[in-house]
């Protein structure tokens, strides 16, 4: 049992990714541990978000892209021909840079995934799933008296927590977050960071962020992407205090990038 707990949730080996003839990722290999927050930092256009979208095959929707190497989720290759991509994206959920709730009620936003995927056996089951997801996303107290109110009436920070609840409602194992706080004010950002700490008890979280203070605050491990390569990956404290690579030191001290 102990050995299982220590095995990586996601293993990436020798990953190259191309947009047409342009190589966006080159030779990326990394182990992502379960129940940890992994932060990916680096300048704009260095491959962070491309890498994140490889982890649940979101890049499949972009014409002319291709990938070599392997990505294993619990030891299974996610790019194997027989993989159910819909189920993969249920297991590996995504929260985007800008809150993107549907123009529907709070309840219907969270109920959407379970309804589409047939995860709720009854109305009572669906209602419980919605409530639990809102509670886990730390927004239940805000919306509990107005579940039928419009999601777009919430503040941006509340909308982002609602989007987290929507991702949680389909029982994912991994949550990908692509700069989830970049559109939020400092108070809302702290709410999302607190939420991440709570969620890692149950989920594996991978976050892309431009905010190095955020990476230092929330993550267990941090990786620096540079021109499509993963330059360094280590415990967050070590990355920010004793990085092994000069490029990492230049970036985290603000001297470069």
Q: Which residues pair with 66 in a beta bridge?
A: 18
Measured CA to CA, the distance from residue 91 to residue 107 in angstroms comes to 21
Q: Model's pTM, two decimal places?
A: 0.93
Its domain, for residue 246, covers 2-252
Q: What is the pLDDT of residues 83-111, one digit of tens each?
A: 999 999 999 999 999 999 999 999 999 99
The answer to whether residue 1 scores a pLDDT higher than 90 is no
The answer to whether residue 3 scores a pLDDT higher than 90 is no
Q: What is the pLDDT of residue 4?
A: 43
Question: Given CA atoms 239, 196, 97, 229 in this order, what sign does their dihedral have?
Answer: positive
Domain CATH code at residue 43: 3.40.50.300
Q: Which residue has the tokens 């929707």?
A: 61
| Sequence-distant (≥ 6) Cβ neighbours of residue 193 within 8 angstroms | 181, 214, 217, 218
Q: Which residue has the tokens 């949550």?
A: 175
User: Considering its fold, how many domains does the chain have in total?
Assistant: 1
Q: What is the pLDDT of residues 162-191, one digit of tens each?
A: 999 999 999 999 999 999 999 899 999 999
Does 134 reside within a domain? yes
Does 88 reside within a domain? yes
Does 257 reside within a domain? no
Split at pLDDT 50, 70, 90, the class of 121 is confident
């Amino acid at each position: 049992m102990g050995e299982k707990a220590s095995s990586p949730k996601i293993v990436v080996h020798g990953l190259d990714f191309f947009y047409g003839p342009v190589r966006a990722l080159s030779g990326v290999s990394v182990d992502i541990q379960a129940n940890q927050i992994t932060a990916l930092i680096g300048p704009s256009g260095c491959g962070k978000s491309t890498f994140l979208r490889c982890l649940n095959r979101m890049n499949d929707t972009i014409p002319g892209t291709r990938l070599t190497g392997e990505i294993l989720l619990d030891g299974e290759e996610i790019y194997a021909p027989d993989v159910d991509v819909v189920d993969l994206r249920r297991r590996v959920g995504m929260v985007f840079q800008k809150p993107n709730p549907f123009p529907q009620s709070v309840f219907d936003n969270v109920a959407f995934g379970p309804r589409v995927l047939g995860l709720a056996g009854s109305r009572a089951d669906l209602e419980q799933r919605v409530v639990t997801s809102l509670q886990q996303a730390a927004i239940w107290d805000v919306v509990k008296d107005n579940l039928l109110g419009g999601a777009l009436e919430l503040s941006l920070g509340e909308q982002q927590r609602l989007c987290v609840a929507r991702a949680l409602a389909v029982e994912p194992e991994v949550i990908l977050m692509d700069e989830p706080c970049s559109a939020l004010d400092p108070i809302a950002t702290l709410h999302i960071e607190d939420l991440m700490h709570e969620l890692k008890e149950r989920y594996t979280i991978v976050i892309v962020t431009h905010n190095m203070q955020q990476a230092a605050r929330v993550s267990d491990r941090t990786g620096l992407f540079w021109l499509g390569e993963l330059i360094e990956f280590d415990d967050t404290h070590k990355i920010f205090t004793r990085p092994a690579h000069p490029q990492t030191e230049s970036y985290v001290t603000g001297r470069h990038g």
